[in-house]
Amino acid sequence: METLLSRAEQLPSLLAASRSEVVQGWDPATLTRALGWARFYQQLHRRLGAQPGLRASLERRLSRAGLLGLGHWRRCPDLLASALLENRALPASARHRLLRGLFLPPSRPGEEEEEPFVHLLARRKAALQLLLLGCWPRGTGQPDDAERRDGLVVKAQAQLLLRRLREESEAAGPKASWASSAALLEQLPCGPTLYRAVAAALLEPDGEAEAKATLLPWLTGDPARLAALGRLLPAPRVASLCRRHPELSAPYLRLLSSWGARLVYDPFRGEWRASSGWLEEGEVPWQELRERVRCLWQEPGPLGSAVRTQLRLWKAQEGDFEVPGLSVWSDLLMDMETSASGKGGNTTQ
């Protein structure tokens, strides 16, 4: 009993440290030890379940001493992990170790089987939502550091999203896999972070199955989602998605077509602009439309060829003009061909 009480006295310090700036000095080894202690308390709680007399006596002693109850012992790994995920002071190397421990397969077969599967799903879903809400530590403020940090964050979000989709599909069974996975996506906070994570997941080497089964149908099933992806992601990123998943090419071209149709030519300024004079929802400036078309145009193989063919078709449908200002597609095509010729590119495909 006294040994258990002495252990109980250490638990508040562990949880308090996880929420403080003390973790600034934690390396992966320190984090591993902390998680090990958390699991130790959880295992003690499990063993006490087989000794109701000792359990009741310990509960009374803990209450009189003002210490955390056995419920905290049972949830200690969750409490610790949640606090660390929200603590921006945790170094990147320790955070990476934490994420691996939470979301990657256990190192020993059957290790996770001690915890109910539903609890694992709940914890992973909560952590994924934290990541999608942008709960990640700031770096030094240098551009390279910020870019590297953001890249790691998006990659982590993509991997967690893929793993959650796999778990949701496995838990629901093959007949309900699409409905349950789509429901998961609907529950996540919708915004730039989610679309960046979805795009990164679609580009993950091991995410082909989930992309085909869930992410692509979810993305293409609602024009508003594809439009949001098109607006929020850089043009080269969307071009990479279309190259990896040809199913996205036609919907994305239709989106570009709708954007182009909203532009009008200003003869006084000699430029294409928004029809109302300022950009409204569903409109993009000429410069952005040109950049997105250019990224597709420059893609090698079938994608670039399809885009060149589509531009020529749109130009022909609008009168096949060669005079600037009469058709946005004629002007885009001339712009693309002039740029390609200047770089020695092939425009005859």
d(CA 8, CA 84): 20
pLDDT at 286: 92
The pTM of this model reads 0.64
pLDDT at 348: 43
Q: How many residues does the structure list for the chain?
A: 349
Residue recorded with tokens 């036609």: 250
Residue recorded with tokens 């499990």: 46
Residue 337: which residues within 8 A CB-CB, separation 6 or more? 347
**What does each of the 349 residues of the chain score in pLDDT, given as a tens digit?**
666 677 777 788 888 889 899 999 999 999 989 988 888 888 888 887 778 877 787 777 777 767 777 777 877 887 888 788 778 888 988 887 887 766 554 444 444 444 444 455 455 555 565 566 555 554 444 445 556 666 777 887 787 788 777 776 666 655 555 556 677 777 777 778 888 889 999 998 877 777 778 889 889 888 889 999 988 899 999 999 999 999 999 999 999 999 999 999 988 888 898 877 666 677 889 999 999 999 999 999 999 999 999 999 999 998 888 888 999 999 999 999 888 776 655 444 4
pLDDT at 30: 92
pLDDT at 112: 44
The alpha carbons of the chain give a radius of gyration, in whole angstroms, of 27
Cα first-last separation, the chain? 81
3-class SS of residue 263:
strand
3-class SS of residue 273:
strand
Domain ranges of the chain: 157-164+187-222, 234-349
pLDDT at 131: 60
Cβ(259)–Cβ(284) under 8 Å? yes
d(CA 200, CA 195): 9
3-class SS of residue 191:
coil
Q: 271 φ, ψ to 5°? A: -150, 160
Q: Which amino acid is at 57?
A: S
3-class SS of residue 192:
helix
Q: 269 φ, ψ to 5°? A: -95, -15
d(CA 125, CA 259): 36
pLDDT at 194: 85
Read off the tokens for 287.
Answer: 């410069």
pLDDT at 270: 87
pLDDT at 295: 96
d(CA 293, CA 260): 11
d(CA 187, CA 201): 17
Cβ(285)–Cβ(279) under 8 Å? yes
pLDDT at 43: 86
CATH number of 234-349: 1.25.40.490
DSSP string over 215-255:
IHHHHHT-HHHHHHHHHHS-HHHHHHHHHH-GGGHHHHHHH
